[in-house]
Structure 1
């Protein structure tokens, strides 16, 4: 019997993606109430809150 690798992988997440506003690197998937996260690529620190995700804006402090 042949096992297909596609059947072993979990389906892609349907959660919203949050990306760095400067370099566009994927920071995480999901909805967070309040998060302060530092991008490992460009080093910018972003504050992402529930209200900023709903409006589609990201607030940064760097």
Structure 2
């Protein structure tokens, strides 16, 4: 049986939040060296870390 710490929720809240700059949706918690992530809400692709700092905006065709 796995023993989980009682303060697991407090541990998660200490991690920095990374949010979409377009719609402010929480993308992930933590620190990343190089990440390119697409927001599931608005479709914006963001580079986080040492990759290019400009964002690519998804243009939907509907």
TM-score by length of 1: 0.66
Aligned pairs, how many? 51
- What stretches of structure 2 of length at least 5 have no aligned partner? 1-5, 58-62
Relative distance call for 1:9 and 1:42 in structure 2 (3 A) is same
Tell me which residue corresponds to 1:60.
Answer: 55
Tell me which residue corresponds to 2:22.
Answer: 22
TM-score by length of 2: 0.66
How far has the Cα of 1:49 moved from its partner? 0.5
Using the alignment, how far apart are the partners of 2:9 and 2:23 within structure 1?
A: 27
Q: Which has the higher helix share?
A: 1
C-alpha RMSD of the superposition: 2.4
